[in-house]
Amino acid sequence: MIKNPVLTGFHPDPSMICVDGNFYVANSTFEYFPGVAISKSKDLANWESIKAPLDNINMLDMKGNPKSCGIWAPCLTYHDGLFYLVFTDVKCWTFSPFKDTPNYITTAPSINGPWSEPVFINSSGFDPSLFHDDDGKKYIVNMEWDYRKAGEMGRDKFTGILLTEIDPVSLRPISEPVNIFKGSERGKTEGPHFYKKDGFYYLITAEGGTEYSHAVTVARSKNITGPYELHPNTHLISSQGDFSAYLKKAGHGSLCKAPDGKWWIAFLCGRPLDESMRCPLGRETAIAEVIWKDRWPYLKEGGIVPAVEFEGYGEKIIKKVYDYKFNEGEFKHDFMSLRVPAKYDVLEDGRLRLYGKESLSSIHNQNMLIRRQSDFCFEAETCIDFPFEHFQRMAGLIYRYDEENQYYLRVAYNEEKGEKCLGILCFDKGNFSMPLGENEIPVGNGKIYLKLKVENRYGEFYYAKEDLVWNSVPYKIDVSILSDEYATPTGFTGAFIGMSCQDMRDSSAYADFYSFKYTVIN
């Protein structure tokens, strides 16, 4: 049996397909770069990250995007030898009545690219999806956002699912959009995906908002433009109201048919840390088997609350230590930057040279390389040498959710002490503090080792000199603030850990990182 979630840590809004015996899942990446995370598996149990498609600034430029904007709910499909990727680059979402949601489509002959220059489709709403009909026509569906509506929590602004025919070659719209589905009573209808089976068009949508009322809703029609009838249960998946459910927030799913004829659904879920109901791991990807009865999809195990385990095609191989080499593929696929490509070099001896850019509050040119927190209990360790001496230049180990909620164990020059010192920078709902105050720790010159140890709700930083005798930094970290639920307004990402460098003086500084290791504990 395979335990859910199969993709742990920040992996929301899964779009799953199966091509030539390989399963692929595309996930939202929001403000993290490169855009759209793609994972590959042959057995649904073991997944590897592969090359992200939106990996250069000509494909995706998110400079200036507010937090939790960027890539929302991509859709991955395959037809006639081509992979198609549809995505939104959200520029504005909760800070005004409007949502700026340009939608694009790109294609590639291989999942590893090269991907074509993105073609603009529309910006009427987010979560675009592509459907290849069996008569050769192609359609885009996306939710519609009406800024004029005024319902609670934006509920009434979700005004249904728009259908637009596109040209199969140019991929540009060739019809006026038609609103084909208003959704169920749960509301906030989004995340549409289309399927055709036994003469019916099946429309899978996400509803209820991507929190604890989330759901996968199913409707069908003989005609692509409707009218659509709702599933006998309305929802295929939801864990709303089931307080014992291990996989909470279950919703936003996509169907996939395997080579053996079985049907699967990939969907997002959340696992709260404790009674705070906060999820620092973000929204994760889980899978369930689907069966068909009376031409409707149902969960194989019955009901609508997804199971913790399912029987796939293999057995999970547990990996507990990720000892990254900076010039190898695993590092390049696991680590991300913020909004724009990271500026770094890998030196001949294997060091990573990370160049200093803007502050931790910038939404333009920060420079960091960070990976998802994928486990409730873990250690992250790095070794750094920072040659510059000025208080506006710093580097270290960053543990973040967004610009307003983060912890930073950093090395910087302290002119009062006349040497480099180790200190912690904290942001809690945007409130800045330096908890060590005047008691920052002198570290001198040369290499310094930095470590973060997290056990569920709390974490602690450590440091060591070249003798590798670890010393605790006297400050207790509350991990739960690095979560969607704690963010103001609510966010859509998850906690990240990694390497960071700033130079707010003249952008000439750099830091050399000798290693990075992520270890699962417990």
Q: Is 506 a catalytic residue?
A: no
Closest by alpha carbon to 193, among 257, 251, 258, 129?
129
Angstrom distance (rounded) from CA 64 to CA 339? 8
Order of strands across the sheet that contains 263-270: 248-257, 263-270, 284-293, 296-299
Tokens of 14: 């899964």
CA 123 to chain centre: 21
Q: Respond yes or no on whether the N-terminal peptide bond of residue 280 is cis (omega within 30° of 0).
A: no
Exposed / middle / buried, residue 375 (Cβ in 10 Å: 0-12, 13-18, 19+): middle
Residue type, 271: R
Residues 6+ apart with CB under 8 A from 340: 33, 57, 61, 62, 63, 364, 365
Please check whether residue 179 is in contact with residue 156, taking contact to mean a CB–CB distance below 8 angstroms: no
Q: Is 20 a catalytic residue?
A: no
Q: What angle do CA 72, 316, 22 make, to 5 degrees?
A: 55
Angstrom distance (rounded) from CA 498 to CA 366? 13
80: number of Cβ within 10 Å: 8
The DSSP call for residue 393 is: E
Residue in 13, 89, 165, 440 annotated catalytic: 13
Please check whether residue 88 is in contact with residue 127, taking contact to mean a CB–CB distance below 8 angstroms: yes
Q: In which region does residue 466 sit, left (phi positive, over 0), alpha (psi from -120 to 50) or beta (all else)? A: alpha
Please check whether residue 47 is in contact with residue 39, taking contact to mean a CB–CB distance below 8 angstroms: yes
Please check whether residue 399 is in contact with residue 452, taking contact to mean a CB–CB distance below 8 angstroms: yes
Residue in 127, 190, 284, 503 annotated catalytic: 190
Please check whether residue 236 is in contact with residue 220, taking contact to mean a CB–CB distance below 8 angstroms: no
Residues designated as active site: 13, 190
